[in-house]
Structure formats: C-alpha cells, structure tokens
A and B are shown apart, each in its own frame.
Chain A
Amino acid sequence: MSKKRFLKAIMLFVMVLSLQVAHAQLKTVTGIIKDDKGQPVVGATVKAEGSTEATKTADDGSFSIGVQPTTTSLVISSVGFAETTVSVDNASTITIKHKDTELADVTVNTVNIGYGTQRRRDVTGSIASVSGKDIKDLPTTNVAAALEARVAGVDVTTSTAEPGTTSQITIRGVSSLFQPNPLYVIDGVIQRSNPVGTGPDAGSNINPADIASIDVLKDAAATAIYGASAAGGVIIITTKKGLDRKPVINLSTRYGVTKPLLYKLLDRDDFIKLQSDIAPNSPLAHNTETDTLPNTDWVKAMYRNGIEQNYNLSLSGAAGPLGVAPTANYYMSGVYNKQTGVFIQNSSELFGFKLNTDYKVTNRVKVGETLDAYQRSTTPVDYAVDPTGGSAPAPRLNAPFLTQPILAIYQSPGVFATDPAGLSIPNPIAQIVTKNRNITQSNIQANVYGEVKLPLALTFRATLGYTIFNEQGNSYEAPYVAGSENIGFAKLLKDMVSYKSLLNAYTLAHDKSYGNNNINAMIGYEQYQGIYNAIYTSETGVYPASFSYVPLTGAISNIANGGYDPQPLVESEFGRINYNYNTRYFLSASVRRDADYIKFGPNNQAAVFPAASAGWIMSDEPFFKKALPKVNFLKLRGSYGSIGNSNIPPYRFLAGFSPSNPTPTAISNIASFAPNSATPVTGFSQTSIANPNIKWETTNEVNIGIDGELLHSKFFFTVEWYNKTTHNLLYDLPIPTSTGFNNFFDNIGTSNNKGVDILLGYKDHIKELNYNVTFTGSFNKNKVIDLDGVGHPIRDGNNDYGQGYGGMMANDPLTYTAPGGSFGQFYGLKVLGIYKTDQQAIDRGITQFGKTPHAGDLIYYAKAGHTNVTALDDTIIGNPYPKFTYGLNINLHWKGFDLAVLFHGVQGVDIFNGVKPYSEGLFLQGNTTSKVFGASNLGTNGVTSQPEIGQTGPGGSFTPDNQANNNYSHANSYFVENGSYFKLQNLQIGYSFSNKLLNKVSIRSARLFVMGNNLFTITKYTGLDPELGSQDLTTNGGTTNRGIDGPYKYPSVRTYSVGLDLSF
C-alpha cells in the first residue's frame, strides 16, 4: 500500500469511528493505581465487579472505566500483584501490593518494547533494563558510558576521557563494516543522526539524571519493530514524569577530579645517555656539560588534572481536580556540566533543559509534549580537518614521543624556542597554545503527541516532532615560529552547520482481552525528513586572537565549502501483534517496511523486516508447580527476526562531477594554458564510481532464552543464546588506486555472531543489611563467513604517529579480516624468539628483510620455502575481540549507608601494544621511556628480552631499525599482549540522612556520596589501560581496527568525585 493510501485509510477509519456516536447510560469512574512504593502500575486490569466492563491502566497508572450504575466495586488485577477489590467511591487512588513471588521488584515491571509497553513477564524478545537511579550519579553525560558493564551482551568501552566524546557501544558483537550505533529512542521518538553531515550525537543529547529507565532491545525480534535502523540494537529511554501532587524539587551536585594515566619520558640526562649509547660520535654524546641545557618535561607541559562538575535541578509533580487521578503531570529539569580535560586547552561545558508534560483533555483524549534543549560548548583537542584547506599541525598524543627534553618550550616569555639547525622536532606546546578553538552545538527537540481512545479498544496516537541542531565552529590559529615549524600568518576558520528534521508518526493500537485470549495489536506510519545546511569559511591574515573576522590588509578570504540538502527522507510502515493465552502462552509477530530515499537507488529504496517470537511461562503450569515448587518463575522463549542496516553515507548509488581533484590534503584542480594573466580553467572530475545496486544489509537472528527465579525470587537469572547472521555486508571496498578512485561501495559478504548472555542475580538481607548482587556475562564470537564481493582480505589499522610524521610501522596495516576468522585480527610476523648470537642467525640461513639478522634481533617465522622474511610471511597473531566480557554489580544498603561497586572484566582478548615500539624503541629523533635501556646491545647490554632498537655500527654510525631487522618497525607478535583485565569501574559510597533530621529543614531526602571511577585494573597488559575500543570508527565502523593501543590517543583517566543529592 502506498503511503498516501495508507494514511487515507487511517484517517477515514478514525473519522468514521469518531462520528458514530452511540448512546448508553454508563457512569465513568476514574482513578490511578499505584504500587506500595507509590509508583504507578501500568497495564493493570480494572474490572467492574460482577460485570464485564474492563480496562487497563495507562502509562501513568491512571484508568477510566465506564460501569453500570449498579456497580459498587472494582477488581484490580495485575501480574505480580495481589488481586485487590476496592469500592467505586475510593477509586481515585488505589494502592495494590506486590506479591513476593514474582519478578516484580527485580526490575521495573513494565518494559518499553517500542511503540508500546509490555509487562516484563510477557516479553518474548530479548530486552534488558537498567533503572535510571543506578546511573544518574555517574560522572558522564553520555548514556552509553553509563551502561558500561551493566547489561549482558552490551559491550561498552570508554577508552578516551576527552570531554564531550562518546563511548563505544556494541550490542551482541560486531557484525558489519558499517557497524551501527544502537538506535536511541527517547520517549517514543527515534533519535536520528544527520545522514548527510554533522548532526546531533544520539546518546549524548539526554541528561542521565532525567532518565527513569532504559530498556535495551537486543535480539532481532525485539528490535525489528524499528526495522532498518535497528541493526545496532535499540536503547529505549523513558524519561521521568511528575507523579505526585506535591511538587518535588530535586537538586543533585557532583564534583570530581580526573587524573590522566600517562607515560613518563626520559629526562635530559637519560636522553643524553641514550644518545651516547646509540651514536657515540654525535655532539651530544658523552657531553658532561649539559646542565645548561633545558630539561623539559613535555608530558607534564601537555597534561594536567581535569575537573568534572555537574549540577542538576528538577521540579516535578502532578495536578488536576482533587478526587480523581491527576489530569496533568509535569517534569522539568536543568543541567549544567563542565569538564576540563586532562589535556591542556581542552574542555567542554553543557547546559540542558527538559520539560515533559501530559494533559488529559478529556477522558479519552490526552495530549502532551516533551521539550529538550541543550547546548554543548567544546574546546576540542583537535579541530576536525579544516574543510577549506590545510590546517596547522596539532598533536593529539598519548605521550609526545616526538620531543626532546633538551629543547625548551619558550626561549623567552611568549617566544617559542627554536630547534638547532638540522633538527626538525615539533613543539607541541606551540601547536596547542596558538590555536584557539571552540565548537558550540545546540540541539532543540520538541515533540507533541495526541492520543485518543476510540471504540473497539482502539487508541490512536499521533506524534509530531521537530529537531533543530546547530553547530558553530570557531578556530583561530595564530602565527608562530618554533624551530622547523613556521606558521606564517593568522588564520580564522568558521563553520555553521544546521540540521533540522521533522517527524510525523501515527499509530493505531488495539488492546483487548477476549476471555483468556489477550490481544495487543498496533499499526503505524512514520515519516522522517531532514534539511541540512552548512557553510565553512576561512580567512588568513586576520586581526589576532579573535573570532570576529577583522581582516588585515592583504587578508585572503575564502568561502570554500558548504552544503545543502533537503532530501533526507525515511518513510516507514509497521505493525505488530502480541497475543497471549491466559498470560501463559505468548506469540508475537511484527513487520516493518522502511524506505530510505537517499541511501539506495530506485530499485532498492525499500525493504521489509519481519519478526516473530513465542514464550511459555512454564512455572504457571500445574504440573510444574507440583514438580518444582522451589522455582518461583520459569519462562522459555524463542524468537526469530530480521533487521536492517543502512548506516552508510548517502548517494553512493550516484556519481557525478565535482570541481575537485583532491589528493590527500590539498586540492589541485586548476590548470592554466597560457602565461600569467590568462584565466585558469577549473577542472571537473568524476569523483567516484556509482553502484546503483547497493542495498540494505540484513541481519537475521535467532534468540532462545530462559528466565527464572528461585528461592522465593531471591535468586533470579536470565540465560540467552543467540545466533545472528548478517547478509549483504555493506563495504566501502578499497579498489586499486590504479583505477584513479579509492573506493567502490558494495554489498560484499556475510558475517555471523553467536553468543550467550547471562544475567545472574541474588538479593536478600541480613538483618538491616540489604544486598543485591548482579552478574552479567556475555560470550560472543564473531566470524566472517564470506567476503565473496572482495576476494581478498580486508586490511586496516595502523600504528602511525599522526599528522604526516609517519610512524614506527608507517603504512603497515595491522589487522586482517578474512572469511573463517573474526573481524580485524592482528596480522604481522610471528616472533619465535631473539637471536642470542650472530652465528645463530647465520646458521638458520634465513635473511630478514634482505639482511642477515644479528644477535639481539627478533627471530621471525618464515613460511615454508621462504629464505627471506618479508611482509609475505605475515600471519594472524592475535584476536582483538574478547571471548567473554562480564560485569559484577554489588549494591549494599545498611541503615543510611549505601555502597555500589561495579566491576568490569574482559577475558580472552589480545591487544596490539602499538605504544611499545615508541616507548621501548626510538622514533625518529624523538624521546622514549626508560624501558629503552633494557634493549639488547644498547650501551653495555648484551642480548636481553627486548630486541635491539637499531644498529650502532663501526665509526659510531647508527642504522635505524627500519633499515635493519624492523624489530620495532614491522608489525609482529612481540607487540601482541594478553589484554584480559578486571577493573573496578565504579565505586560509590553514600549516606542518606534520616528523615527526622531533614524534615526540620523541609528536606525530603538527602544523600551524600563519594565515588571513584576506573580505580584499579588487574591485568597483564604492560600499557597504560587495556580498555580499548576501536582506533578509528570512521573506517569500517571501527570493526577492523579494534584493540590497537597507539601513540595517537587521548589518555584515559581515573576520576574521584563527591556529590550531594537533595530532594525538597
């Protein structure tokens, strides 16, 4: 059905219903149902006693029921609660009590399944939940980071502590070369990023303190209702709503100090000692009068302790005529977060505001809105590559290996020191402090919805959403001279990017029980359209230190780039039916059709994603109760579904001409055919090869799960097995540069992920000590089934120093992806040992890189028949994907004290320690760490456990490693380490003050806490922090460059915080 006809049908249907007004004489009873903790109970059945009228409670626990005038009592039933009968006269607020033999209190008792909610016990797909209160105090503004180690199958790594950046989140393994992020759905509205250019950063646009609950949809059956966007899993966030007629004011504050984990480089004396060892004839060597030389600690100059502070204020409540359930509720909050990075001149500041309101216009009509606004202002470490041309160099380095301690930062105040002739060492401080950068992102999202209850147990809901995202970047680069770097003139860059999007969504739901047959069905239509508009400008020769565009004489202005695109459009139709018999046997099916008009060509714009699942609550069977009375609850469930991925750049099915002939960083596209004054011709070239046949990547997944509770529900568990296969992998296939193009977009292969997710929990109390221990673990194995469209392995990963300096393993790809193995396995020479003597190498008779190795050189494995080891002898030397990841979450409450401990562990993983060649070897004329003194043949060393860093020959000449055995200059297994770890991720100790005390000062509750993040790590890894994500998410979605610890990385940190939560 075309979209238009579909819409007409919905409209007609709704109108007909609204006009057919029947007349009968019922009286209406309204009220709200809460549990014994005051939380609203959703989906509870309200029946008129002795009659057939029945209804269910809404999201806020409210209900409205028409009953015969003779009805005197209502019967309230809900799974997990004791059945309760109340008089019609007392129905305005009804409290029902939990039965203690159900899942009830373990997690929230309802789950958001997308376009609707479901009781947790009824769920047939794989959905895990996290309560907002568990994460609200964590020192982050990013939802993904807050989920770290809390949900089985959800792998979150936070490898950088750069303010404002996001964590890497992977749900049930990597499957794609365009690995999508999870889809974030906030209060029913999909958070879509801009498909054309910069846009809002989903997951970073929600204040964790506003979150009531998070539901993570993991398997295809659960996520298929989001179809084409769901391949990365779905994270549904429900924000807080006002509950209480008495307004609640909540103030929470947090202040923390972050300490970077850093390398220590050689100081002056050790540096000179090293020079003496490697190049005895150099002027520096054996120089004793060195105390006049500078002794600069570049690490210390570039890093500092950072600060994270967060203030959150909220007001919430409910309002309406007394005697009935509140007809309106509201929640508003504001947040301020400021982080100063551990890197100098690096910070982020965030203001946010949120408003949620719902109004009952009539008993059958409800409207509401959510309004979110935030502004994040960042002083980034490195501005994105200047889109208008080259930008001055900037370091972004774990340790500035390319520095020398004997060079000063400044030669006089404000004047950068100059390198001696013949030395070309950048001055990172000059690179950093001459740049004045600021990026401000603001995002306003407003959604309104209207919901009408119609006859035939139908509910129609319409949502209109509008999002406006705006980014403004300012960058002022001052001229400077620092040795070999000479930036001649001031440069100002400005950019403005806006992305606006409009959402129209309609759903029609039917929810009714026919005897023991309970049906919940829903159909919907959703349309999402966007407009992108951007301009990038630059000017050189501007008035100093200002973003205000004041040109000096001779300034060169250049409005060089921009973009405009009103075409982004996604249209979706979807439907779902949930059926259960006697709340014991469950069936569910859904289907979604998505059409994306800018990602795929005319024949492939739309795709259909179906799913089905079933569940059986065995523990409700009489035979089961008899056989296993200790088991309070046991559910078996299984599902199969299909989901899509279109997380690729747009328009790759089209080609065209562009006035650019870009080579790595500069554009050269004009030619002149006559001397000087002639008008040059601007060249137009075809920029890419179009592939009109690209289509959706599709994942099919089977999930089988079992949920259970034992021992009076003190012990609870969920175990799930899944097997998912991703077909038509999308890939920006590198094609031979001899074609004149770099890539060809195509569907190239198949991958598979298998795994088991485990949740184990135990909660109990010992007298007044309540405790709750949850263990989440996940086994996952990803495997590339075929890459038939490529025909050769995919290589990726590097260990470069960045910004044109090459690196210790320059242009040497470190990973290898081929059928039969997992994504991005480490690839290089296998090291068999270190030559103890020169003779040993001669005896072996195998040259390495064309040369006979020496004592102290690594012994490389040579493939059969090879007498000279080269890159052709590379083999797989490690796997960056962990076999098992786990989290252990312990919560203790004793009187006013609470303790929360979160451990995060990873087992069976390798890391390519790419820092090691820099920290144990010698990079160009730079510095290294004291580990270098353990190298073979250095100074008076013989052969040690570290290979030699180069050869000092007769006459004091020094042959660098990359001209010799490549011990540190070619990827090899010496640098592959066991990356397993067990980390104390978060420790919180809090004390809640007693109410008596507080009541006197009109405070409802107060909690003071101290917290530590990333406190300690148990690992064999020799680098700084084994928690590593992908090196570059823009290449193959990060899938093929994971687990590489490189020198070009923002350090991780340890955070210590204190906080206070007050409620009035």
Chain B
Amino acid sequence: MLDFKFITMRTKIVLMAVIILFMVGCKKPPTTVQDLSLVSGAVYPSTIDQLTSIVATGYANYRSENLNGFQLLTSAFACSEHIADETGPMNVGDPSGKAPYNNASPTDAWITNIWAGFYLGVTDANNTLTAESFYEKNHAVAGDSAMLKAIRGEALFLRAYYYFQLECFYGEKYIDMKQPASSDANILGVPIYTQTPSTLAQTQSPRATARQVWSLIISDLNNAKTLLPNSWSGDNIGRVTSWSAKGLLGKAYVFTQNWDSAKTVLNDVILNGNGPRGLPLQLMPFNIYKQAFNSNVYPGVLNANTDQKFNQESLFEIEVDRVPGNGGYGIFGNAPNLYLTTSIGLFWSPSGFGDDHVSPEVMGYSDLYVHDRNLLRFGFTVPLDSVSVSALVPNQNYNPNSKDSGYISTTFVPSAWYQHVSDSFRNSNGADPRLYVCALEPYMDTVMFSQTGPASDRYKRPVSKCFNVPVPDSYHGWSFKKYQTLDASLNEGTVEQCDGANYYLLRLADIYLLYAEACMNTGDQATALSYINMVHRRAYGQAAPYTTPNNNLTDPAHDYQTLTDATKADPSDVNLAHNPLAYERYAELFAEGHWWFDVCRWGNSTTGTSGNYNTDFGKNEGTYYGNLLPNNLPSQWNNVSSYSYPIPSTEINSNDLVSAQPNGGQNPGY
C-alpha cells in the first residue's frame, strides 16, 4: 500500500531544484583528447620552418648534457686519452674516479650517458626522416624540393656522424673492410635503428656487426653527399654540405682501412672542396689558427682575436654563441634554451691568481687540467722543481696598485732562469708551438676574470697552477686553453658564461692527415709525408701556400724527412717519438676529441699489424702517462677490454636481443 500524501508542493519544488542544479555541472564526454603539453604529430610539421626545427635537434644534441654539454670531451675523451687529468674524486663527470684508468664499468654514468646522447642524435635524425616524409606527403608546396632534399641529406649525415662516434667508442674492434665479410662476421658493433620505433618489438635491436654499422655509415654518407648542397648561404652557413659528407666518408674509409676509397674521396675534398662560406678549403695560417679556438667578445683584450667561425678549414662545426646576456653555467644555467654553448669551458676552465696575488682562483670549476706528461709530448721539458714553491722568487716589479696598467703580477714569480727558459720554449720553437694553442702556462699566460665587474676587477691576471691539483708542487698544472673563455670568469653574473669558440668536429687538417695515412698505407710515402708536413709546417708559422696540395715547398728546418723521423715527443715516448703521423694527429687535434679513436683503431684492429697498427698502442699510452689522478694510481690498461667502452648495463638490461648475444652482449673483458 503506497502513500504519496507526503509529497507536498514544497517537496516537489525542492526536488526539482536539486535535480536542475545538479545536472548543470555534467560534462559531455569528449570524442578525442589531446596531450595539451605537446604539439600533435598529426599536424606537425606543416611548414618548412617546422621541419627545420626537427632537423635542428640533431645539431643541438651535440651540445646536450650527455655529450659535450657535459660528458663527452670532459669525461670520455679527456680522461681516456689522458689529455686531461681529473683533479679529485669529486669530479662530477666521473664521481667514482674511474675514467682515467681505462677501466670503466658498465654502470658508470658517463658510459651510460654518452651512449644515450649519441643515440638521441640517431633518433633525432630518424625523426627528421619521418617528418620529412610526412611533410612531403601532406604539406609540401612547389619550390620545397631543394630544401627537402637538403634536410634529408642533413639527417643522413647526422645519423652517420652519431653512429660513427658510437661505433668508435663501443664497437668491439675496428675492422678491415678490404677483407671478406666472413673475416669479421663475429665482431660486434652497436645496435642499429634506422627508423623511430613505434611498437615495442621495434625497440629491441641486437648489436649489429661492426661491418653492418660501418656499411650503414658509409651508405648514409654516400646518400647524404648527393642530397646535400655544396654550400649554404646567409643564416644557414653552419649546416652541413656535401663536402662535410665526403670528408666524413673519407674518414670512415680510413677507419675501416679502405685506403683506395679513402684516397679517392679525400682527394676530391682536398682538391675541390669548399668551406661553409663557399670558399675553397684551405688551412688557416698559423696566426689565425692560434686564435681560432678562443674568440673574444670584447675587442682589445688579451690577444685580440678576431672571429674565426666557419672558416675555410672547417667542414663540420657547432656554433657557440658568446652573445652577452645569454650566459649561464654552461648549459646548466637559468635559461638553458638560450644558450648556444656546451659546458666544457665550465669544467676545463683555467685557474688564475686572485685578488691577493697569491692564491689561485677558478674561472669555472677547473676540475680538469692538462696532464703534465702532455707537456713533454709537446717538447716542453722544463723540470717540475723549477716551478715548485721553493723555486719561486719575490717579484721585483710587484706593485699591488698597478691594476690600472691592465696588468698585475703575483708577489712571487718563477726564477729568472725559468722565465728565460720558458720563453725560449715558447718563442724559439723549443716546444711545439701548438702547445700554446692548447694550454695555458702558469705565471706566463694571462686571463681576465671580469668584463662587467667593478673597474678594479677588469685586469689581466697571471694563470696559476690548476686550482684543484692536490699537491701543487707535484704538478706543472697547466690549464686548458682550447675552447676556453679567457676574458671572463664563468662565475661572473651575466657575462657570456660560455665556451670560448665554436667546436670543429671535422676540419681540413684532419682530412690532410687522414689522406696521408691512406697514402702511407698504400705505399705512397712521399705524398703521405708531404701532407703530414703541410699540417706540421703550419704550426711553425711557415708561409702558405696551404691551398695547393702536393706542393713542392719545403721547410727543411722543421719538416719531417721520413715517416719515422723524430718528433717533438720525448724519446721515451714509444708511440710518438718516431711517428710523425701519430704525433701530428695527437698534437694538431689535441683536445678536440680525436686522439682516443686513433689510439683504439691502431691498437684494436682485426688486421692491422704494421705501420701504426700495434696491439700495445693503448698500453704504451697508459704506461707513458704514469700516475693518474684522482687516485694517483697508474693506468689499469687491459688489452682485452680497454680499447672498447663497455656496453652500458642499462642497455643490456633493457634490450633482450643484446643480452642474448655472446658474453651477454657485453664487450670482451667486462
């Protein structure tokens, strides 16, 4: 029995009001949703500019934290090849302090990070290829075709470049591609991805063989060289050209001992190539070369460098912008999107004397300095005890109030004898002149800490021994100069806290030496010697012509007479003392990220046993450099493992097709 009497008018009103009120807030379910934090791939890229923004990631990635933004030159190259010594175990790039001992572990952060960094570059390139196809299919308009071709070429070049680096660091061995493929069928390279994965299955890829990796590099570069323009103009001169592709292709041939192909393509570059601005390739004269790694924003300070960006020696270069106001702690500052720099300058920064004229101060972190044995390699043989504290003498000219003159001194300076000897090494070719392009000598070189601080801070200061060396008297402690900012401390507020110059990733001097190596290995000793000498001769300030190959000019005072002639390196230096080719690669390309690859390819090849090829090349290096910081222990070189970096355990743990390979996908010895 139902009774509805209680439902009064009042109740009805309330009820209706409640229902109406509460229905108001209801929301219709959406038909589609978007991730509003992203730009949808369904519409992007729809203009050439947007497509350019995708190819730009491949260039920008080189400056990322995992690569030269932090770890590549600083941790991987510098420590492995010993151009640098880590001052302490707190080195942020290598907190375990293991990198210098050539005894990396698969879990070391820098091992993991540069792997990820290079592969991000590969992905950037693959993304570009996908985006280019998407754009071409959906949005291309008449007149786009030349640009699309070029962008495809850039993507292929960048992919080849990143695989090149990956293979050289992580590949099991360098192979001889003259040999039949069966001879290196078991030599593992790195995993290959030629497209962006879109399914889980596509994310798994085994390590390809070294031959497959090199073949991909070579085929990408062959394609790139036909797609890329010979030069760019205007705001695009920093983009890669067909000459960049040919240069890198020649390098890939040399690294795989394919001498004949190398000679053909390198010779083409040398004879016909042009630089970024469309002018013929040629070596910079030494007076420009010695400034090319440090550009000063402020005219009239230090050696008054002019800007040498994208010059006629350059084939592939990364732009570093020292625009005031775009500063920060390398890439780690407060507006990272604005910075066109890396962080090498931050970690390699020089040390100079502070306001008390006694204590060293850093211009950045100064975590790394030039390992002392490098001085010996460049021929600087002044004994260490001449710059110990007890050997210093009071500075007769010391004037604490002399700031206005633009120069101050320290209260103590090296003895007159040292100054004299040092001067002769510097000015009379006692040492290889390139030493002074690469490094800063304490007391004798100068830096400036500030450009915007109070006037009393804007003066030159002598370079000190590296601030962070543990026992100063036990080290020469020179600071790096290449790529360093010498005219402003990175601690300075808003000045361009930035690396000192553009990074040359491929330049003509490298091409000359590669060509020489190809000639040498095909019996053409004379041409080999001639190209080695051209690079060598430039360092001694000999007049050009640097543009004419096979020139007959000689410089008997400095030229190497044979391919086994003595170099500036100390006679005890097994690898370099009588090896002009190796020496020139070391000295010419010092601190540019090349020497480690040379050490490994000469020491760790499937076939090479003559000439530079010597399985103990790496061990000799380890022995030569003696004790290494941060632990002041000798190298732990192991011929089985040290030539290849370990595959990062994060990769093995997540890539089943790698972990299923022999030795768990790991390189031998790890």
**Inter-chain contacts of B35 with A (CB < 8 A):** 650-651, 654, 656
Choose among B1, B15, B117, B310 the residue that contacts A24 (Cβ–Cβ < 8 A): B1
15 CB contacts below 8 A, A to B, read A388-B334, A423-B470, A650-B35, A657-B44, A663-B117, A666-B64, A668-B331, A668-B336, A674-B236, A674-B237, A682-B337, A736-B651, A737-B116, A738-B193, A811-B107
Known: A569-B29, A656-B41. Contact between A960 and B631, CB under 8 A? yes
**Inter-chain contacts of B95 with A (CB < 8 A):** 804-807, 810, 924
CA of A957 to CA of B633 in the docked complex: distance in angstroms? Answer: 7
| B-facing residues in A453-492 (Cβ within 8 Å) | 455-456, 460, 462-464, 484, 486, 488-489, 491
Task: Indicate if the CB atoms of A739 and B193 lie closer than 8 Å.
Answer: yes
Task: Indicate if the CB atoms of A738 and B332 lie closer than 8 Å.
Answer: no
CA of A388 to CA of B333 in the docked complex: distance in angstroms? Answer: 10
Interface residue? A897 (CB, 8 A)? no
Among the listed stretches A225-233, A361-369, A936-944, A1006-1014, which one makes contact with chain B, having 4 or more residues with CB under 8 Å of it? A361-369
Task: Indicate if the CB atoms of A671 and B56 lie closer than 8 Å.
Answer: yes
Task: Indicate if the CB atoms of A675 and B65 lie closer than 8 Å.
Answer: no
**Inter-chain contacts of A687 with B (CB < 8 A):** 38
Residue in A closest to B309 when the chains form the complex, CB atoms: A675
**Inter-chain contacts of B97 with A (CB < 8 A):** 924, 960, 962
CA of A678 to CA of B191 in the docked complex: distance in angstroms? Answer: 37
Choose among A563, A661, A681, A793 the residue that contacts B52 (Cβ–Cβ < 8 A): A681
Task: Indicate if the CB atoms of A736 and B654 lie closer than 8 Å.
Answer: yes
Interface residue? A529 (CB, 8 A)? yes
Choose among A455, A666, A813 the residue that contacts B332 (Cβ–Cβ < 8 A): A666
Task: Indicate if the CB atoms of A363 and B193 lie closer than 8 Å.
Answer: no
Interface residue? B655 (CB, 8 A)? yes
Among the listed stretches A15-23, A84-92, A762-770, which one makes contact with chain B, having 4 or more residues with CB under 8 Å of it? A15-23
Task: Indicate if the CB atoms of A684 and B44 lie closer than 8 Å.
Answer: yes
Q: Return the CB mask of B92-116 against A: 1 if under 8 Å, else 0.
A: 1001111001010011110011011
**Inter-chain contacts of A558 with B (CB < 8 A):** 334-335
CA of A683 to CA of B59 in the docked complex: distance in angstroms? Answer: 9
Choose among A3, A738, A958 the residue that contacts B190 (Cβ–Cβ < 8 A): A738
CA of A686 to CA of B198 in the docked complex: distance in angstroms? Answer: 11
User: Shortest CB–CB separation between residue B641 and chain A, in angstroms?
Assistant: 8
Known: A560-B337, A682-B56. Contact between A489 and B120, CB under 8 A? no
Among the listed stretches B317-325, B386-394, B605-613, which one makes contact with chain A, having 4 or more residues with CB under 8 Å of it? B317-325
Choose among B53, B88, B119 the residue that contacts A682 (Cβ–Cβ < 8 A): B53
**Inter-chain contacts of A25 with B (CB < 8 A):** 5
Task: Indicate if the CB atoms of B107 and A804 lie closer than 8 Å.
Answer: no
**Inter-chain contacts of B193 with A (CB < 8 A):** 738-740
Interface residue? B554 (CB, 8 A)? no
Q: Return the CB mask of B177-218 against A: 1 if under 8 Å, else 0.
A: 000000000000011010011101001110000000000000
Choose among B90, B96, B471 the residue that contacts A484 (Cβ–Cβ < 8 A): B90
CA of A362 to CA of B7 in the docked complex: distance in angstroms? Answer: 9
Among the listed stretches B16-24, B509-517, B576-584, which one makes contact with chain A, having 4 or more residues with CB under 8 Å of it? B16-24
Task: Indicate if the CB atoms of A421 and B468 lie closer than 8 Å.
Answer: yes
Task: Indicate if the CB atoms of A685 and B57 lie closer than 8 Å.
Answer: yes
Known: A24-B3, A655-B41, A658-B39. Contact between A560 and B319, CB under 8 A? no
Q: Return the CB mask of A63-78 against B: 1 if under 8 Å, else 0.
A: 0001000000000000
Residue in B closest to A502 when the chains form the complex, CB atoms: B25
Among the listed stretches B141-149, B413-421, B437-445, B490-498, which one makes contact with chain A, having 4 or more residues with CB under 8 Å of it? B490-498
User: Shortest CB–CB separation between residue B249 and chain A, in angstroms?
Assistant: 22
Among the listed stretches B122-130, B402-410, B524-532, B594-602, which one makes contact with chain A, having 4 or more residues with CB under 8 Å of it? B122-130
Residue in A closest to B103 when the chains form the complex, CB atoms: A963
**Inter-chain contacts of B589 with A (CB < 8 A):** none
User: Shortest CB–CB separation between residue B345 and chain A, in angstroms?
Assistant: 15
Among the listed stretches B282-290, B377-385, B559-567, B656-664, which one makes contact with chain A, having 4 or more residues with CB under 8 Å of it? B656-664
**Inter-chain contacts of A740 with B (CB < 8 A):** 119-120, 122-124, 126, 193, 196
User: Shortest CB–CB separation between residue B112 and chain A, in angstroms?
Assistant: 7
| Dominant secondary structure of chain B at its interface with chain A | loop
Residue in B closest to A418 when the chains form the complex, CB atoms: B359
Task: Indicate if the CB atoms of A23 and B53 lie closer than 8 Å.
Answer: no
**Inter-chain contacts of A738 with B (CB < 8 A):** 115, 119, 122, 190-191, 193, 205, 651, 655
Interface residue? B2 (CB, 8 A)? yes
Among the interface residues A25, A388, A737, A793, which one has the most CB atoms of the partner chain B within 10 A? A737
Interface residue? A80 (CB, 8 A)? no
**Inter-chain contacts of B235 with A (CB < 8 A):** 673-674, 678-679
CA of A675 to CA of B335 in the docked complex: distance in angstroms? Answer: 20
Interface range on chain A: under 10, 10 to 19, 20 to 34, or 35 or more? Answer: 35 or more
Interface residue? A869 (CB, 8 A)? no
**Inter-chain contacts of A670 with B (CB < 8 A):** 56, 60, 337-340
Among the interface residues A423, A502, A683, A969, which one has the most CB atoms of the partner chain B within 10 A? A683
Residue in A closest to B50 when the chains form the complex, CB atoms: A684
CA of A413 to CA of B193 in the docked complex: distance in angstroms? Answer: 59
Interface residue? B455 (CB, 8 A)? no
**Inter-chain contacts of B309 with A (CB < 8 A):** 675-676
CA of A228 to CA of B596 in the docked complex: distance in angstroms? Answer: 56
Residue in B closest to A22 when the chains form the complex, CB atoms: B4
Q: Return the CB mask of A532-551 against B: 1 if under 8 Å, else 0.
A: 00000010110000000000
Task: Indicate if the CB atoms of B2 and A489 lie closer than 8 Å.
Answer: no
Residue in A closest to B97 when the chains form the complex, CB atoms: A960
CA of A484 to CA of B26 in the docked complex: distance in angstroms? Answer: 58
Interface residue? B572 (CB, 8 A)? no
User: Shortest CB–CB separation between residue B491 and chain A, in angstroms?
Assistant: 5
Interface residue? A433 (CB, 8 A)? no
Interface residue? B472 (CB, 8 A)? yes
**Inter-chain contacts of A597 with B (CB < 8 A):** 29-30, 33
CA of A423 to CA of B91 in the docked complex: distance in angstroms? Answer: 10
User: Shortest CB–CB separation between residue B148 and chain A, in angstroms?
Assistant: 16
Interface residue? A26 (CB, 8 A)? yes
CA of A792 to CA of B653 in the docked complex: distance in angstroms? Answer: 7
Residue in B closest to A673 when the chains form the complex, CB atoms: B238
Interface residue? A390 (CB, 8 A)? yes
Q: Return the CB mask of A497-532 against B: 1 if under 8 Å, else 0.
A: 000001010100000000000000000000101000
Task: Indicate if the CB atoms of B120 and A686 lie closer than 8 Å.
Answer: no
CA of A565 to CA of B25 in the docked complex: distance in angstroms? Answer: 18
Task: Indicate if the CB atoms of B335 and A24 lie closer than 8 Å.
Answer: no
CA of A943 to CA of B84 in the docked complex: distance in angstroms? Answer: 38
Choose among A421, A741, A744 the residue that contacts B469 (Cβ–Cβ < 8 A): A421
Task: Indicate if the CB atoms of B30 and A676 lie closer than 8 Å.
Answer: no
Task: Indicate if the CB atoms of A364 and B66 lie closer than 8 Å.
Answer: no
Interface residue? A837 (CB, 8 A)? no
Choose among B15, B38, B336 the residue that contacts A452 (Cβ–Cβ < 8 A): B15
Interface residue? B557 (CB, 8 A)? no
CA of A736 to CA of B207 in the docked complex: distance in angstroms? Answer: 12
Known: A672-B238, A738-B119, A924-B90. Contact between A656 and B38, CB under 8 A? yes
Interface residue? B648 (CB, 8 A)? yes
Known pairs A26-B3, A422-B470; list 5 more (Cβ under 8 Å).
A464-B25, A656-B41, A661-B61, A805-B95, A969-B96
